[in-house]
A and B are shown apart, each in its own frame.
Chain A
Amino acid sequence: MSALQDTSLYNTLDFLPEGYFIIDSNYKVKSWNKVLKILTNVEKENILNSELGEFFPNFKKDIYKKRIDPIFKGGPPVIFSAQLHKNLFSQKENQKNLYYQVTISSLKVDEENCNALFSVENRNEVYSQINDLKNLHDKALNEITEKDEVHSELVNQHIEIEKAFLGLSEKNLQIEKQKQQLLELNATKDKFFSIIAHDLINPFSSLMGFSSILYEKFDTYTPNILKEMIGHMHQTSKQTYDLLQDLLQWSRAQSGSLQNKPIKLGLDEIVIDNIELVKNRSLNKNIEISKSIPSKLYVFGDHNMINTVIRNLISNAIKFTPEGGCIDISVDEVAENQDQNDFIVLKVSDNGVGISTEKLSKLFKIEESPSTVGTNDELGTGLGLILCKEFIEKMGGEIWVESEEEKGSTFFVKIPLYKE
């Protein structure tokens, strides 16, 4: 018989800090220490020599017996972890969890048989803390998940609002653009009717009036008066013809039928031709026209368009320069744009009446374009500069003006430079 079977030695287990008990191969309890009374509320006197399963039914289950039985044959120690077997020591159903870490070792009784020594370590406090932490952890996770969901929802809403706002902005831009187009169309239409109604009807009234008088009273007028009247009719016809020319070009530009066909053009040559065209008018007003343009400077543009622009600018300069004034045509500088394509800037300057700040801002706008009478009461259509702007922009250039009242104006035209 093993010394440990001695009851007095079993009693030494009472002095150990953990729960200890011993069972024999029939699961009868041979020893039950004091700590177990605290852990299980079972008195030593009641359980000694009773079957363990009578007090703790789980020990009757095969799942436990299969693992414990080898102990009675000297098998290796068996562990039941507190977490996985929290009901091992339950005495009735629905009892709260008991976290005891159990280790079972063999105690030799004789050569063939062993008892089983159970060490029962109380882990309730540890697991209670772990469970509290787990609950806190789960709660925190839930809160984080909830917050994440709210955050995601807010972000989605924000994205939706931004999309809606962007759509609205785009629609507003479209509306604004359409509004601008409508305004321009309306201005074009107004200008067209104004020209038809006023600028064309007036000269025709004048022509019809003079021709009617001539027809009816031809014989009553002296040759000198007749010459003067026919001269008026010629002047009116010429102005009307010019107006019709401008109107035709402008309407072609508006309908898009006027195409930019750029070719190599000698700028000096075009300027000389146009100076020649207005020579009579400049001589009449005793205006000196000077030019300084390199003879081998070539631009890349549409011949008709560049010709119209230069003619209009020189014509305007004469119109708004008083007698004895001067006009200078030069090439100011060569600029480079972002695409590294070279441009030249043609300058047409006069020391004429200049343009007021108010008129400057309206100069190139069809809807506001003013028609101003020249220094010798020359009439205009108000279409010239609008045509210039339209043509220059079609060729990829720019037009702008600097002016001071009573001192004169300078028109700048940026035209693409021809490159080999």
Chain B
Amino acid sequence: MLNALQIEILKEIINIGVGKSAEVLNSMIQSHILLDVPEVKIVEYSEYDKFVHTFEDTDYSVITLPFNGELNGFSKLIMSSDHAAKLVDAFIGKSGASLDMDSLKIDILSEIGNVIINAVMGTLGNMLTINLDYIVPSYEKGVRNIIIPQEMLNNKSAILFAKTQFKIEEFEAEGNFAIFFRLESFKSLVEKIQEYFDKNIS
């Protein structure tokens, strides 16, 4: 299991990744993006329900990027549908978003999610020198139950959940970026973080 120092390193890497994504998004919409300090925790299968209930009971728009290779899991951009609409507003103006056209929103949200997820996963891969294979991201919409990937529910495995909250000030849009690592990846992750520590920090 990750110790306090390793958790801090993971938080740092995620923070750097989201920061990079913020740079790209800023250049796309010329708006300031605020980032919270990331939160990392282990969620046991028995705690899934409690964990899901930490999210507000509303509709969510979620972009998921599954990854395999040296680590396995899912990275997700989780936004309430209201905030997703605000984010779309930020890019195309209110007249388009007010039409509530899913196809339009899905296209744009997929790209925004892609920018954030890629920046974080790219940073994670580069800094920890991990080779990852990616599958094309997907979009889904639903209640908060969709936050935990179905595969993890089926396997009843514990998950390492790392998330950070971001806020686009001008549009009052906010969301979470989360990485769900499969338990079997924990060992590799711990090793990679330790290697990073030995090489760069100690």
Name A's B-contacting residues (CB within 8 A): 63, 66-67, 70, 74-84, 101, 103, 105-106, 123, 126-127, 130, 133-134, 137-138
* List of B residues within 8 angstroms of A75 by Cβ: 118, 122, 125, 134
Bound CA span A133–B96, Å: 9
Question: Is B104 at the interface (CB under 8 A from chain A)?
Answer: yes
Query: What does DSSP make chain B's interface, helix, strand, loop or mixed?
Result: helix
Residues in B with CB closer than 8 Å to A134 are 95-96, 99
| A-B Cβ contacts below 8 A, count | 76
**Closest residue to B23 on the A side, CB-wise?**
A66
Interface string of B68-104 (1 = CB under 8 A from A): 0000000000000000000000011001101101011
Are B95 and A76 interface neighbours, CB within 8 A? Answer: no
Residues B104 and A130 in contact, CB atoms below 8 Å apart:
yes
Give the contacting residue for B99; candidates A79, A105, A133; CB below 8 A.
A133
Chain A residues near B133 (CB, 8 Å)? Answer: 74
Contacts of A106 in B (CB 8 A): 134
**CA of A384 to CA of B34, assembled, Å:** 94
Please tell me if the beta carbons of A84 and B111 are within 8 angstroms of each other in the complex: yes
Q: Knowing A79-B111, A83-B104 touch, does A74 contact B118 (C-beta < 8 A)?
A: no
A84 contact from B67, B91, B117, B137, Cβ within 8 A: B91
Q: Say yes or no: A81 contacts B111, CB within 8 Å.
A: yes
Give residues 96-129 of B contacting A (CB, 8 Å): 96, 98-99, 101, 103-104, 107-108, 110-111, 114-115, 117-118, 121-122, 125
Task: Check B110 against A137 for contact (C-beta < 8 Å).
Answer: no
B63 CB to closest chain A CB (Å) equals: 9
Residue ID in chain B nearest A108 by CB atoms: B133
B27 interfacial contact with A, CB 8 Å: yes
**Are A123 and B136 in contact, CB atoms less than 8 angstroms apart?**
no
- Asked if residues A79 and B114 are in contact (CB atoms below 8 Å), the reply is yes
Q: How many residues of B contact A (CB 8 A)?
A: 32
Whether the Cβ atoms of B136 and A77 lie closer than 8 Å is yes
Report chain B residues within 8 Å CB of A137: 95, 98-99
Give the nearest-CB partner of A80 in chain B: B111
Judge whether B132 and A76 touch: CB under 8 Å. yes
Q: Nearest Cβ in chain A — how far from B86, in angstroms?
A: 16
Complex: A78 Cα to B114 Cα, angstroms: 6
Residue pairs across A and B with Cβ atoms less than 8 A apart, 19 shown, are A63-B27, A67-B115, A74-B133, A76-B114, A76-B132, A76-B134, A77-B118, A77-B135, A77-B137, A79-B137, A81-B108, A83-B92, A84-B91, A84-B111, A126-B103, A130-B96, A130-B99, A133-B99, A134-B96
Closest-by-CB residue of B relative to A66 is B24
Do A77 and B99 have beta carbons less than 8 Å apart? Answer: no
Residue among B101, B110, B114 with max Cβ neighbours from chain A (10 Å): B114
Q: Which residue of B lies closest to A137 (CB)?
A: B99
Residues of A close to B108: CB separation below 8 A: 81, 83-84
Distance between Cα atoms of A102 and B67 in the complex (Å): 20
Q: A105-B134, A105-B136, A137-B99 are in contact. Are A70 and B122 (CB under 8 A)?
A: yes
CA distance A70 to B24 in the complex (A): 14
Residues of A within 8 A of B135 (CB): 77
* Interchain CB contact under 8 A, B67 and A76: yes
- Which chain B residues numbered 141 to 155 have a C-beta less than 8 Å away from chain A? none
- Write out the residue numbers on chain A whose beta carbons fall within 8 Å of the beta carbon of B118: 67, 70, 75-78
